Amino acid sequence: MDQKRAKDTANSFWMASARCMEQRRLSPTQFNMPLVPGVVCAAFSIELGFKSLVTRTASPPKIHDLKKLFELLPQATQDRIVTACSPTRAAFNTSIAAIANVFEEWRYVYEQETVQLDIAFLQRLSDTVYTIINEPAP
């Protein structure tokens, strides 16, 4: 996997997610926001961002699991992400476990009876990964 191409694609999906999450007012009491595409794009931007960071030192596996990909990151990078996204490592571990498969789950959300998502955590993680992958490589 080419690190720059993964990073560039992650950036594109981050931007797509941000645009999808914009609330467009339709009337004084209604708004429009394509939530499902926004969630899927945010999750995919995180996945590709993690893979671009892993690619700096190794070949990333072909998986979508955000928790497993996170665990492949260098400890210093993990620590930065945890600090930016959660009050504690334990809280982060709980939150990332809950969204580990959101890319796969939300692509087929219409098949689910119910879904739960900490969208604020997903967006913080997406924004944090976006920031880190766009810094100069050490």
pTM: 0.93
Residue 26 DSSP SS3: strand
Show pLDDT as tens, one digit a residue, over the chain (138 residues): 888 999 999 999 999 999 999 998 889 898 888 999 999 999 999 999 999 999 988 888 899 999 999 999 999 999 999 999 999 999 999 999 999 999 999 999 999 899 899 999 999 999 999 999 999 876
The pLDDT of residue 12 is: 97
Question: Considering Cα of 89, then 47, then 117, then 102, what sign does the dihedral take?
Answer: negative
The gap from C-alpha 59 to its chain's centroid, in whole angstroms, comes to: 19
The gap from C-alpha 105 to its chain's centroid, in whole angstroms, comes to: 14
